[in-house]
Chains A and B, each alone.
Chain A
């Protein structure tokens, strides 16, 4: 029987340690992992916990991330609670198996420490890997700091493992800025955390020999479409309610409130930055500053849930806003950024038609500064005033060389 760890009311953890501790407290049956910067410490800490008697489950060290996620699929199909962690190139190598996991409806938890994708090779944080998986059928939750990485990892098990949901869940955090920055984190005790998540509810496990079952079937044009439709239906109809229910239960337990779409200073905001990850904290800091110093009505909207996309909630959060800046930290490589496109899709049929512009920033870990956010707010306020774009639709922020913009 694993030993319990005595934790302080406030711990000084980085995002990786916060995720490792949540994984330990979930009493996982199998972790199959292959380390990659900057998520390495998540499984490294986990191995340390195991070696010191704090973990009962299996820890399988495999030969690649493709094998790591494959091991997770096998263990989850067998009937166990399963999780792992990865970043960037490792995430890219997992992609094939991400679709297998969601298609087989295996509620694996994947801690993703966001990092740029090569080439050129880069270990620092941007959202390229996070965006890469957005059609993979997983639930994607985004943490903006270490506390949220801990909280959302715990909640991910309860959301994904629900018998009506049965879908894998990614919990994203920004490489280095969150993963390697020590912050104050308030954890639950081991008993409280496990009681919150609950026992793993097994559904059709392969190890039930009285009821043998096949996972990973082949279906052609006569069956494939129906299976994919069933999965999409469940993502669209069963996840939002469950996420809300788990967020509410977590608030009752800890006092920490989460929403599918987070809003900051949005009650009377004329313009909003929509962003993900640690950029949200920067934007919130700047919004507060501009409100205090200049009386500017600026706010921040941040999707906590990226997939399934909270279409109704995002429209509600942006009601009454006159201009929006969609901030994408991933090279769209020949299109508008993901947030721009999702927002355009959600707002096109809504009553509110704000001016929408796109900012590409922070690739490969390039700093996104307070000055950048201030400039963006100035431009958004000008757009709101004019009732039309006063800048190109897509602009690059913090880039050397001639100003780069499109449309």
Chain B
């Protein structure tokens, strides 16, 4: 983002979410189609705040959407009630999605950031 001088800033340090005015409620527009402004946090990478990451296992998931509802940072990606995965650009690794996952074994588990997802999936535990 270009650094602006003091005289170029909007008073009040306010930031607009979108580049243009919306003709309908933002909730009715898919995130990938919203005209996010450069200053919106959607455009920012904050994945490095994370120590542990949730890894998603499609084979076990029942698409109950609990993780999507409970995620405090809108970092679970789901379309048409089908789970797709985790938005690693914004997920802070809080682990709530794992906590609320109802399957046995869980379809989301926390792993250390350095472990590749394929390796994590290969270590998945058995049903208890």
Contact = CB atoms under 8 A, between A and B. Distances in A.
B9 A217 contact: no
A225 B6 CA distance: 8
A6 B16 CA distance: 44
B1 to A, nearest CB: 10
Interface residues of B, number: 20
A219 B26 contact: no
Contacts of B6: 225-227, 229-230, 233
Interface stretch (B17-25, B54-62, B86-94, B100-108): B17-25
A209 B22 CA distance: 8
Interface string B1-40: 0011111011111111110011101100000000000000
B7 A230 contact: yes
A226 B17 CA distance: 21
A166 B13 CA distance: 13
B16 A213 contact: yes
B121 to A, nearest CB: 36
Interface in A203-227: 204, 209-215, 217, 219, 222-223, 225-227
A227 B4 CA distance: 10
Nearest to B41: A214
Interface of B: 3-7, 9-18, 21-23, 25-26
Chain B: interface secondary structure? Answer: loop
B23 A213 contact: no
A234 B9 CA distance: 12
Given A209-B25, A211-B21, A217 B7 contact: no
Contacts of A211: 16, 18, 21-22
B118 to A, nearest CB: 36
Contacts of A210: 21-23
Contacts of A219: 13
A105 interface: yes
A231 interface: yes
Contact of B13 (A104, A212, A222, A234): A104
A44 B17 CA distance: 40
Given A226-B5, A230-B7, A217 B22 contact: no
A215 B22 contact: no
A213 B15 contact: yes
A211 to B, nearest CB: 5
B14 A217 contact: yes
A277 interface: no
Contacts of A105: 11-12
Nearest to A102: B12
Given A214-B17, A226-B6, A103 B12 contact: yes
A106 interface: yes
A226 B15 contact: no
Contacts of B12: 103-106, 166, 204, 215
A78 to B, nearest CB: 13
Contacts of B23: 210
B88 to A, nearest CB: 22
A219 B5 CA distance: 14
B43 to A, nearest CB: 13
Residue among B11, B23, B25, B26 with the most chain A CB within 10 A?
B11
A229 to B, nearest CB: 4
Nearest to B40: A214
B11 A230 contact: yes
A290 B16 CA distance: 61
Contacts of B17: 212-214
A225 to B, nearest CB: 8
A204 B14 contact: yes
25 contacts: A103-B12, A105-B12, A106-B12, A166-B11, A166-B12, A204-B12, A204-B14, A210-B21, A210-B22, A211-B21, A211-B22, A212-B16, A212-B22, A213-B16, A214-B14, A215-B14, A217-B14, A223-B13, A225-B6, A226-B6, A226-B9, A227-B9, A229-B6, A230-B7, A233-B6
Contacts of A103: 12-13
Contacts of B3: 222
Interface in A83-128: 103-106
B14 A213 contact: yes
B11 A217 contact: no
Residue among B4, B12, B17, B25 with the most chain A CB within 10 A?
B12
A346 B26 CA distance: 52
A219 B50 CA distance: 21
Contacts of A106: 12
A103 B1 CA distance: 22
Contacts of B5: 226
Given A213-B16, A214-B15, A231-B11, 8 more contacts: A166-B11, A212-B17, A212-B22, A213-B17, A229-B6, A230-B6, A230-B11, A233-B7
